[in-house]
Amino acid sequence: MAMWNPWRGCHKYSEGCRFCYIHKGDCKRGVDTDLIVKTDRFTAPVEKNKKGEYKIKAGQTVYLCFSSDFLLPDADVWRADCWNMMKERGDLHFLFLTKRINRFMDCVPSDWGDGYDNVTVGCTVENQQTADHRLPIFQSAPIKHKNIICQPLLEQIDIEKYLDDVELVVLGGESDPDARALHYDWVLAVRQQCVNTHTHFEFRQCGTHFIRDGKEYTIPVRQLCSQAKKAGINC
């Protein structure tokens, strides 16, 4: 596993952005998140060591743009270089998430065709409205590997009709002292939609405020993922 953040910074875009971890981290450091800047890791996938070998070894999943959104308009001038690097590194698998799937077809390279074999796109939704807006676009987009990310999930949603060709649904709650609560019933409902459609499902993160069997729990940030794992409902 490797990380690749060719640029950093993002603009809040929808309800799911309220407690964006990038904005929160930047705020503590006095960094303006709305300033989108290239990082010194821009060419990381194609950088080589003195022996002429790629520094990022073959066979890994590369998590792309986890300090921004890969389809951010501000980054339009830089994205073509990124696609070229992903093409050059066919021995790596790249994964990026986006809330801006409506921009996807304007952002792909001319030789994209049905999609690159080594790229997974995760479409993020947080409620029924964003699901009904983004997932039909995602469904019709030519992408070889599709994930849906329901995180932070803010209400019960029905996404079953959008699950054709989706490899994995990831679900998580919101992390913040003022976070909106995640109800376990919502988690089980999405899981059932995945079971019905033979789609892999992963409960990745509880919410800071988590409601199960009518009781509310406050979960420390360090335990959000381990508590979700303990539920043992991934399939």
Question: Which lies closer to ligand SF4 via its Cβ, residue 11 or residue 93?
Answer: 11
Contacts with 142 (C-beta within 8 Å, 6 or more apart), sequence order = 112, 113, 114, 115
Choose between 45 and 122: whose C-beta lies nearer to ligand SF4. Answer: 122
| Residues of the shown chain interacting with ligand SF4 in the complex, contacts defined by CB under 6 A | 10, 12-13, 17, 20, 22, 68-69, 99
Q: Which residues contact residue 35 at a Cβ distance below 8 angstroms, ignoring those fewer than 6 apart?
A: 9
Main-chain phi, psi angles of 95, to 5 degrees: -135, 125
Minimum distance, C-beta of residue 33 to ligand SF4, in the bound complex (Å): 7
Shortest distance, position 235 Cβ to ligand SF4, whole Å: 27
Cβ distance to ligand SF4 smaller for residue 65 or 190: 65
In whole angstroms, give the CA distance from residue 14 to residue 148.
16
CB of 14 to ligand SF4, least distance (A): 7
The distance of closest approach from Cβ of residue 65 to ligand SF4 in the complex, given in angstroms and rounded to an integer, is 9
| DSSP line for 166-188 | EEEEEEE---STTPPPEEHHHHH
Name the residue nearer to ligand SF4 (CB basis): 5 or 156: 5
Are the CB atoms for 33 and 26 separated by under 8 Å? yes
Nearest approach in angstroms of CB 109 to ligand SF4 is 22
Which CB sits closer to ligand SF4, 8 or 209?
A: 8
Give the list of residues 6+ apart from residue 47 with CB closer than 8 angstroms, or none.
Answer: 54, 55, 56
